[in-house]
Amino acid sequence: MPPKRKSSTSSAPGPPPSRTCTTRSRAPTTKTFPLSTYIPKLASSDLGGYNFHQKLKCPKDASEHCSSCIGKQAILGGCRFVGIRTFMEMEENGEKTVKWGDYAFRGNQDDEEPTKVVKKAKDKEKEKDQLNGKKPETLHISPERRSTRALRPNLKVENGKNSKGTRTEPDPCIPLPPHVPPTKEDASYILSLVAGTFADHLERELSHETTHLSSVAEARPFIRIKNTPLTRSLCDFCSTSIFMGSYMCGCCGREFCLGCWETWAPSEDLHAGRLLKRNQCSMKRRHNKNNMLFVTRAKPGEISALLEDVKAKIRTIPTPDTSNDEPLVAAIPTETAPPVPNTEMKYLPVPKNSINSFSSSVFRSLWRIGGIPLVLTDLLPRFQLPWSPSYFIKHYGKTTCTLHDTANCIRNTSTVANFFSLFTSTKFTSNSWKLKDWPPSADFSTTFPDLFADFENAIPFPEYTRRNGARNLASQAYFEKIWNPPDLGPKMYNALPAMDFLIDNGGDTEGDMKDEVSGTTNLHLDLTDAVNVLLYTTENDPCPYNTEEKLGIPACGAVWDIFPPSTSSTIRSYLRSKFSLSKIDDPIHEQLFYLSEHDLHVLSQSPYSVHSYRIYQNPGDAVWIPAGCAHQVRNRKASVKVAVDFLSPESIQRGVAVGLLEEARGMWTETRKSRGKEDVVQLWGCLGFVWKALREIESEGDGGVKVEDCGKSG
């Protein structure tokens, strides 16, 4: 053992030595991030020796590990280089030696499917712990091997536990509605609306592929990889789904979508001491374009053949007759909310009618015009189940859930029974609790099969809104059985009244406008269309904690403000000027604000001139929100709502979905945050599957595509 170090001592204690404060001048330190130096090369017959193919996660001796293996996500199948990286293998003295610092890349489209690896018990435990420690949505979905959420659609991880509910007794069995496959009329209508948009994207894909097949200076090494079923490839920088082509760093394996690549100018500029996301490589290095190789999931000639088919269809397809759209929409009865007392603020008229008097043809006309919400009433008789607090307490009361306080940004773990008991409690609560997106990650049809069947039977315009609807471009009917379709709901939104309807603020009178209030759902917008049905509100009028009517708002279930798409940029400007939002990337997309009546009053004046569609939603009312319309919700009463998103061909034709996708992509690309909001819609993948299925229907007649297996509800 080393000798103990003796401490120096003095013979007698004395006062501490005096200290002289001196100012030391420090030279400013500047962080430096060296460039990654690896330039990808391709394994080929001309470049021999690269024979050691990487079949599992990054080898520990390899000079470069992908970002997933560095983050220890490879156990989930997330290694970026599996199947596409190969190392130099040398033979010396009869023994083969792998040079771990010398590697190249190879395509794997022609590889045989690998033998399924049986996981050891310790690996299964490690995977379980890893999932419990990370939110599933933060796990990378790699370009070739993936086994995250895409392969576990019913996995639900909350607070480190599997929180599936236990039902005390079975519900009555409600049959699912029969599946109605797409017809030739559906095919002609949909293809006429989406062909132009799809052709534009295919031109983009083909342009990138052609560039890297040539010998121009901009060409990058090019490989073709498997387009693996039951998976999704996401851009590491904007979280947009990748359709065919992408760019991959040969050092860290991160992927750029085409949009991020086109707008990327490599830079060493720092923000708060850090590089922007697109410039970050592993090992504190910087990306540059020489690090990248081009990767495509398309087979040789696949994109050009598909593009030619789309262009041929554009030349021959008839355009839908829209001459009657404006007269039909003008004939819809409207309702305009009264202005706030003592102000000149006006709301826009909202088309409103009973579902019993509204046809699908009128809905299509309204949706083709676009940007105008709709309210349909009298839906309650279409539902067979009660959708009430007592129902959820009885059947799912013991289920663990996460509650959100919409006013104070607080989360709390509770049970379904405890939450729904607040709906009828007379005890005071100072929290506006919300059980949102229920179930948060599990499939609605699996968790609540009878509620799902009840909703599918009741929802209007099923060709658009059902999970297998013929005019829903995200329909399971269009995805071949082995592929993973987007999950756009339904989801439940259950919440107590918003805070200003919950507490007596002492002295507020009708007409008072507070500068800030809290909403139940803050201002945001979606690239899909949606319908939201209010099924239950507390019978008390007003609610147990509600003290008075305010600002002339009637005792409804929920208050909606929906804004025309053209007003979004103006609203952003207003919020930035009001709150000095230098650190907020987008005040609408980040869903941080609720516009109070005071804000709406200011926005209605010059220079903004922004007016909302104000809707007072009651039980049995379905609110239809077009894609691209910013909207916000404030509960007047404790309410149970159920909503579903759908991707309509009309929104594709108007360019709304594509525009919003690029808008969100651009926002998340330049942020310093780790990732953007995940692109659950998979827009280009949806259009690809829709095009293939509908072209087969056109060529073979109605029912020519076998969709009964992949298109069944649930």
Taking residues 38-49, report their average pLDDT. 83
Q: What is the pLDDT of residue 508?
A: 44
- Cα separation of 548 and 133, whole Å? 45
**Has residue 136 been placed in a domain?**
no
Task: Grade residue 245 by pLDDT with cuts at 50, 70 and 90.
Answer: very high
Range with lowest mean pLDDT among 228-242, 507-521, 544-558: 507-521
Taking residues 80-103, report their average pLDDT. 91
Of 246, 240, 235, whose CA–CA distance to 298 is shortest? Answer: 246
Per DSSP, helices labelled H in 32-140 are 67-70, 121-133
Task: Grade residue 131 by pLDDT with cuts at 50, 70 and 90.
Answer: very low
Q: What is the pLDDT of residues 599-634, one digit of tens each?
A: 999 999 999 999 999 999 999 999 999 999 999 999
* Higher-confidence position of 162 and 494: 494
**Has residue 706 been placed in a domain?**
no
Q: What is the pLDDT of residues 266-314, one digit of tens each?
A: 888 777 667 788 888 988 899 999 999 999 999 999 999 999 999 999 9
**Has residue 127 been placed in a domain?**
no
Residues in the chain: 714
Residue 617, C-beta contacts closer than 8 angstroms, at least 6 positions apart: 375, 532, 534, 556, 557, 558, 559, 560, 623
Q: What is the pLDDT of residue 272?
A: 67
* Higher-confidence position of 114 and 58: 58
Contacts 24+ apart (CB under 8 A), 256-263: 256/292, 257/665, 258/204, 258/205, 258/208, 259/235, 259/662, 259/665, 259/666, 260/235, 260/665, 260/669, 261/208, 261/292, 263/666, 263/669
Task: Grade residue 146 by pLDDT with cuts at 50, 70 and 90.
Answer: very low
Taking residues 16-33, report their average pLDDT. 51
What kind and span of H or E run contains 405?
strand 400-405
Cβ pair 407, 384 in contact under 8 A: no
**Has residue 415 been placed in a domain?**
yes
Share of the chain above pLDDT 70, in %: 78
- Cα separation of 400 and 390, whole Å? 17
Residue 87, C-beta contacts closer than 8 angstroms, at least 6 positions apart: 50, 52, 54, 59, 62, 98, 99, 100, 102, 103
Whole-number average pLDDT of the chain: 81
In the 8-state DSSP scheme, what is residue 44? Answer: B
Tokens representing 599 are 């804000």
Backbone angles phi, psi at 244, to 5 degrees: -125, -65
Q: What total of structural domains would you count in the chain? A: 1
Number of H helices, E strands in the chain: 18, 23
Q: What is the pLDDT of residue 121?
A: 53
Backbone angles phi, psi at 667, to 5 degrees: -65, -50
Residue written as tokens 């995977």? 127
Cβ pair 523, 595 in contact under 8 A: yes
Q: What is the pLDDT of residue 509?
A: 40
Q: What is the pLDDT of residues 163-175, one digit of tens each?
A: 344 444 445 589 9
**Has residue 373 been placed in a domain?**
yes
Tokens representing 561 are 């403000």
Task: Grade residue 14 by pLDDT with cuts at 50, 70 and 90.
Answer: very low
Task: Grade residue 148 by pLDDT with cuts at 50, 70 and 90.
Answer: very low
Q: What is the pLDDT of residues 304-355, one digit of tens each?
A: 999 999 999 999 988 888 889 999 999 999 999 988 777 778 999 999 999 9
Residue written as tokens 């663990």? 400
Q: What is the pLDDT of residues 502-527, one digit of tens each?
A: 655 444 444 455 667 888 999 999 98
Range of the domain at 346: 325-700
Task: Grade residue 16 by pLDDT with cuts at 50, 70 and 90.
Answer: very low
Q: What is the pLDDT of residue 23?
A: 44
Tokens representing 663 are 């808008």
Q: What is the pLDDT of residue 123?
A: 53
**Has residue 22 been placed in a domain?**
no
* Higher-confidence position of 65 and 44: 65
Range with lowest mean pLDDT among 107-116, 185-194, 516-525, 595-604: 107-116
Domain CATH code at residue 624: 2.60.120.650
**Has residue 187 been placed in a domain?**
no
- Cα separation of 664 and 646, whole Å? 19
- Cα separation of 231 and 252, whole Å? 21
**Has residue 224 been placed in a domain?**
no
Q: What is the pLDDT of residue 581?
A: 65
Tokens representing 248 are 């991959």
Number of other residues whose CB lies within 10 A of the CB of residue 495? 26
